[in-house]
Amino acid sequence: MLDESSYLPSIPAKLPQGPWLIISPHPDDETFGLGGALLLAAEQGIATDVLFLTSGDKGGDEGIAPIREQEALAAARIFGIRNVCFWRLSDRSLLPYQSIIDRLAEVIVSTKPACLFFPSPVEPHPDHRASSVIAWEALRKTGFTAEPWSYEISVQGPLNVLIDISAVVAHKREIMAIYASQMTQNHYIERILGLNQARAWSLPLKVSHAEALHVWPKEDRPLNAMLLELQTHKFGMDALPYAFKGGNQDNILPENYTGKSSLAISESVCYRTEQGLSINTEIILPLVSLIVRTKNRPNFLVEALQSIAGQTWPKIEIVIVNDGGGDVSKVVEPFKTQVTAINLIQLAKSMGRSGAANQGLTHVTGDLVGFLDDDDLLQTTHVQRLVEFALQNNAKVVYSGTKVVKVNQDGTSHEITEYNIPYCSERLFFENFVPIHSLLFAKELIDNGICFDASFDFFEDWDFWLQLSQKTEFMHSPIVTAIYRLHEDASGVHQYDNSTDAYLRIYRKWLPDFSMERIFSLLRSSHQWIDDKISALQDINSKKLDEIGGKYSYAQQIVQERDAQLQELNDKLEQLGKEHSHAQKIVKERDAQLQKLIDDLDKIRGSVFWSAYKRLLK
């Protein structure tokens, strides 16, 4: 067991060498997380650049983004930031797309920072976590030309460095207050300074506040794998004592271990090695096979494989079916060391979506099987959550919630809706509410001959679900862990999701197998689903109307304020006009008086008296 000195620094560290590049998900994160370090860096002459990824447009009322930018610029001036860049990506929609990773890699290559700072990967805000992955993957792409540093913003995370900010904490408070637009969202100043104060716990008494950072090793592995290893060994299992069974210290089990398989990693069977506590993955963890269908979309394939390689579940087999497209072996090669196994099947001739899926099914070796088409993504805990959910509920088919995201040609994205409907076998006949990559099923189900129907060009996954549903019930996990992407220039199956012909083909295949009682039950249930949908749509419309009404009222208020300001300006302009006219009148009168004086002077100079006066002067 480790003591606190093993993972909590006892003395403050010096600042790393510059230049620095700070990755800030929103305008304010750089100040909240690194404000003290930035002030100290300015004192030491360390050159610093800041890149704001999103506009922060969800952090307040409409029109908040430009306000937050001005606040960021004001803070940057005080910090002495060398360069400030705004990418203005959509707030709360940030995802580690390859295009964004490539863009950041170009920035790293061009700016040549010695250190790259990014949010801790355990931050609760999704944009913060996405930023950490984007930064990490960009560093991997560049060969780690900069040293990776993660920083805390709102919660405690992994750390191996503490920076003493006691001398500048008052100044940090003042700079945080510049972000006035955000102070109505949370008590940021008090809570962040409270976090800084708590981080001084292991430091000398003279240190009142500290900022915590973690310097990551430059390893060409996904950040999720690095984090899992860190949490398992340094901050997880090795930090806890275990009850010894007998006198043999080489085999250590949790005191409450019953010998039954448990899928939660924190409860897994463990054994002690010379290197520390390890997970006995060979004994208790099922292998998950994920089938990836692809064809001539190498950029999408890279993102899909990154999505799998970044999973927290340690035993994953990837079966890639290249359906008659160009050779992707070079795309696949870097991922072979990042998962348990990869099997690449390159078809010389396209077999279509169903044929490609069946090819994948014939090659899987895992206990559980799932799919991930090359244009979709999985969140990092997707596989782990579903495996644990399946084991906990003794279920053979499980599926998660799925977020639907629209991806624009410029790489920006925004959430459209989500699929997160509890399972109902009758409803599954009427609509496919289970996206293909949201589901895992036991391999034993396909050992009985279930496969994709090659006659289906579209909805082949729906037909496959209906086959599975005849064998077992599905279990629904409401946690959203899958991402269904709709691309602005998309072609392929997504555009056919509402095809009448495709629906009819499903119904023609399955209706003849249904009894009249089943059909009646389906029809009766369909009325309830329609009513539920209408009610849900009414709720959505009501909320939208309330939102629009609120925005309209706000807009009216703004217009009224602008009208009042305009009237005030008009009144001032009118007053200035009057003052100008009065001034012109005075100037005219003064000009007339001056002219009269000039005329009088001329008369005097032409008089007899003036001539006599001039003779006397001589």
Residue 184: per-residue pLDDT: 87
Domain 288-513 = CATH 3.90.550.10: yes
Supply the DSSP symbol for 233. Answer: I
Per-residue tokens: 205: 């008494």
Torsion of CA 422, 427, 430, 434, to 10 degrees: 20
Residue 298: per-residue pLDDT: 93
> Beta-strand (E) ranges in 296-373?
316-323, 341-347, 368-371
Distance of CA 403 to the CA centre of its chain: 13
Please count the other Cβ atoms lying within 10 Å of the Cβ belonging to residue 474: 20
Residue 233: per-residue pLDDT: 55
- Between the alpha carbon of residue 395 and those of residues 121, 216, 369, 391, 399, the distances in Å are 31, 38, 13, 7, 10
Query: 405 in helix, strand or coil?
Result: strand
Give the orientation angle of helix 352-363 with respect to helix 460-469, to 10 degrees: 50
Residue 243: per-residue pLDDT: 46
Per-residue tokens: 295: 């064809």
Supply the DSSP symbol for 46. Answer: -
Q: In angstroms, rounded to a whole number, what is the distance separating the alpha carbons of residues 453 and 361?
A: 13
CB 317 within 8 A of CB 368: no
CA-nearest of 328, 321, 333, 319 to 293 is 321
Helices (H), 80-231: 98-111, 126-142, 169-176, 188-198, 223-229
CB 25 within 8 A of CB 119: yes
CB 94 within 8 A of CB 126: yes
Please count the other Cβ atoms lying within 10 Å of the Cβ belonging to residue 12: 18
What is the value of pTM for the model shown?
A: 0.59
Please count the other Cβ atoms lying within 10 Å of the Cβ belonging to residue 457: 15
Q: Which residues of the chain have pLDDT under 50?
A: 237-238, 242-283, 490-497
Q: Concatenate the DSSP letters of all residues of 538-603 into one string.
A: HHHHHHHHHHHHHHHHHHHHHHHHHHHHHHHHHHHHHHHHHHHHHHHHHHHHHHHHHHHHHHHHHH
Superfamily the domain 4-220 falls into: LmbE-like (3.40.50.10320)
Query: 196 in helix, strand or coil?
Result: helix
